[in-house]
Chain A
């Protein structure tokens, strides 16, 4: 068929031409748009797109670092890290096995003529079955006792019917793992050396379990042995309140932004659970101990599993810390405290502190009851938490405990009296069986009284009536001012770089008792709406009772200040051999030599022949003051036993404070109860041979 001769191929009329040009223009514009878009993508956006593409197929895995170790002042390890061997299943390598199991289960479901098969549930069951099979193999190798007593299962039944909890795959954990950390291996046994509550039987059993797995389990395959570092407290509950403990942390480490590959918002970041300080030095010096995280850059498969490691950086361990504690004195202190028990044989709540008089470094700081940080270093179980809570062990009684200091305060009353010149060191006061204040008789603890008492004798026998008289003469304002001069209501354990510095301070132990400290005065009583101040309040105040509340650490610091003839001691938990012995805010004590000698002489007499005889150590002169204060426990009156002081009396090196919380039915008295603890602490200190450079007492 031929075309007619007059068929028009090209437009001939202007309208047609215009229409054609318009179409050309549109096409050209479209083409330009495409070319321009391509050029824009290729030339301008190429870097961004490449990064986006790379990020979609890559991920960063962050590795937590090992924390720094904590030593005592002599280099003994107090907190360490140990290798934790864990058994992990590589889910990517198990995919084929899981698929086979899934198909088997699916066939079984269909054979049961199930109307609607929940494939998600079947897949989960397949995963659990496969992992359980491998977990059984792990236990088969590591648990020698179980294997010896195990019965041969029936053919085809490799899985025990009802394995104990730790031998079962935790479905909840598996779900969480697949949701949050799909790319990482799934943990079958978290700690091979301590795989279950009933294992190991002894320290060697854990090592044997590790060794059995290493030598007997196939090296190749989907089950891996991984080692990481966990926190360990080799001395158990010793110094637990100082050391604290660590807890799991999913937070990104602070140095994460320094890693170039992590800056991108779109890059997936996976992190293994790290540790962060939860209490004690672990918390307050977390920034020093924690170290720097490592990272690994991986490509990932379409299923989300890690494929190839492209780059990596090892984690860097945190810095070590040397505490001022002396392991030997600390151990002795805790053992001595543990020997003080109630009528049921349960150790009484107590606290003890020993300081270096000149530097303020804490040589021992114990609080009873205590807890084992090893049991808390991870996820705290409800049972462990309840046990610590019930025993009252969370409270660090040495720094957080608030108590009336009782007769140990009489030293301050005496100083207030002498500085206000209402009494002097050689004045003799008549002290009967009681002292009448207003319409109330304030008793002496000796039923017939002590007769003529001077300062020296008062400190030796802890006479109440002497203090009632001096306290009332000096007045409550003088008592409060004197207590504040020695920092009884000032925050402690807040150190700065230099004693002269006014810069930021570090709280060395978290949650100190500074908010609850009370040095009462007229304003305070009005503030708490307890009415106007009475003379009876002053009498109570003068013997360390009433509203006065302070902590054992404050009283130990006061004893150290007294030993040096100054007003303030800044205790510290950090060991620094270069400390110069200067204490921020400290001033001379403001007594003449005779007055100071009289106080010191009285304190020596207290140990030699007075209420502190139970602390006496032949050949070691000790200056001390005992106290038995009253407090209310469960709304009933009980006693607190105190003893503060320093040694050697003629050349002070260490100061101490011991406090024991008596129970309603215990016979708790200052010297009698606290004295033996002081004695053991000082014997150990003297036996250590560690004699820091000391100046004679002024």
Chain B
């Protein structure tokens, strides 16, 4: 009995000593420990991602021949359509190139694109954050925009050696400026992630919509990046306005919800657009000296 009591007391003492040590440790040591833990976790995350890829592979492998033939036929049609689109884009690219040569305009390359597989979804922030299998070793830096095709997925918030954390568009930590389709005056609006209710569908809020903005008839209005903030390239799709825009009582401005254009829960692969020149926001995130 006494021995048990002594053992329990020793456990409490050990816990107290550990907590006190953790509190008193210099922040550099704590940061090192945290990073070390993330690196320790990284192989498991990689393994989980690759296991999922393998499972998908075997799931597809188990399909019947008829199914595969049908899927192949569908794919061929999509390929044909995309090839046609590609040809059109190639014509545009050539015309663009010709105009640049005529005007002697050199467009500096602004971003380095790094393709990364999604390792896992971080459950600690209600699934509004994903972890990708590329990190500092691959040149990824904090603050970089993350896209899939022409759609914004989110932005990098933390970079580790071989993994990075990405805040999705619907995360409360995400904020950017946008243009609304159909606004011929190109006035900027604010897109902010909204904290989701437990397992409810995550959305973002679009605010500061001008009072005289009218939704285009028929199709949902596309919300695109402005390119003015120095982080996101212009013209990328953030999503679509959900239904309508509702006036706030404050007057003059309306608000609406943004429905992301991609299913952010089922992303397999994304591209990180790493800016070639460091942005001030990145410098702030890294705590660099500034003037």
Which A residues are within 8 Å of any B CB, using their own CB? 65-66, 80-83, 136-137, 140-141, 144, 147, 150-153, 155, 158, 160, 204, 207-208, 210-212, 214-220, 227, 229, 291, 294, 314-318
Contact = CB atoms under 8 A, between A and B. Distances in A.
B174 to A, nearest CB: 7
Interface stretch (B21-29, B195-203, B283-291): B283-291
A212 B249 contact: no
B72 interface: no
25 contacts: A65-B251, A80-B252, A140-B290, A140-B291, A141-B280, A151-B291, A153-B289, A158-B289, A158-B290, A160-B291, A204-B228, A211-B188, A214-B176, A215-B177, A216-B143, A216-B230, A216-B282, A217-B281, A218-B284, A219-B172, A227-B208, A291-B251, A294-B250, A316-B251, A318-B251
B285 A218 contact: yes
Nearest to B247: A317
B251 A66 contact: yes
Interface string B252-291: 1100000000000000000000000001111111000111
A214 B284 contact: no
Given A216-B231, A216-B280, A315 B290 contact: no
Given A136-B290, A144-B230, A214-B190, 6 more contacts: A152-B291, A212-B228, A215-B229, A217-B281, A217-B284, A229-B253
B284 A316 contact: no
Interface in B94-120: none
Contacts of B249: 294, 314-317
B59 to A, nearest CB: 38
A215 B176 contact: yes
Contacts of B174: 219
Nearest to A82: B252
B235 interface: no
Contact of B289 (A82, A152, A212): A152
Across the A-B interface, the 6 shortest Cβ-Cβ residue pairs? A317-B251, A216-B281, A215-B229, A211-B228, A314-B249, A211-B229
A318 B251 CA distance: 9
Interface in B232-251: 232, 248-251
Given A137-B290, A219-B175, A314 B248 contact: yes
A66 B252 contact: yes
Contacts, number: 109
Contact of A147 (B226, B248, B252, B280): B280
Contacts of B143: 216
Given A141-B284, A227-B208, A315-B249, A214 B175 contact: yes
Contacts of A208: 228-229
Given A155-B289, A216-B279, A216-B280, A317 B230 contact: no
B252 A81 contact: yes
Interface string B126-145: 00000000000000000100
Given A81-B251, A83-B253, A155-B289, A215 B231 contact: yes
B177 A140 contact: no
Contacts of B176: 214-215
Given A66-B251, A210-B188, A214-B229, A137 B291 contact: no
B173 interface: yes
A229 B231 contact: no
A153 B291 CA distance: 7
Nearest to A315: B250
A83 to B, nearest CB: 5
Interface string B181-194: 00000001010000
B173 A220 contact: yes
Contacts of B280: 140-141, 147, 212, 216
Nearest to A221: B284
Nearest to A63: B250
A6 to B, nearest CB: 57
A365 to B, nearest CB: 26
Contacts of A66: 250-252
A214 B252 CA distance: 20
A158 B291 contact: yes
Contact of B177 (A65, A144, A210): A210
Interface centre among A137, A150, A215 (most CB of B within 10 A): A215
A160 B174 CA distance: 31
A209 to B, nearest CB: 9
A145 to B, nearest CB: 12
Contacts of A155: 289
Nearest to B225: A215
A211 B226 contact: yes
B208 A83 contact: yes
A220 B143 CA distance: 14
Given A136-B290, A137-B290, A140-B280, A207 B250 contact: no
Contacts of B251: 65-66, 81, 229, 291, 316-318
A314 B248 CA distance: 9
B290 A207 contact: no
A457 B42 CA distance: 102
Interface centre among A82, A160, A207 (most CB of B within 10 A): A207
Contacts of A229: 250-253
Nearest to B290: A140
A229 B231 CA distance: 27
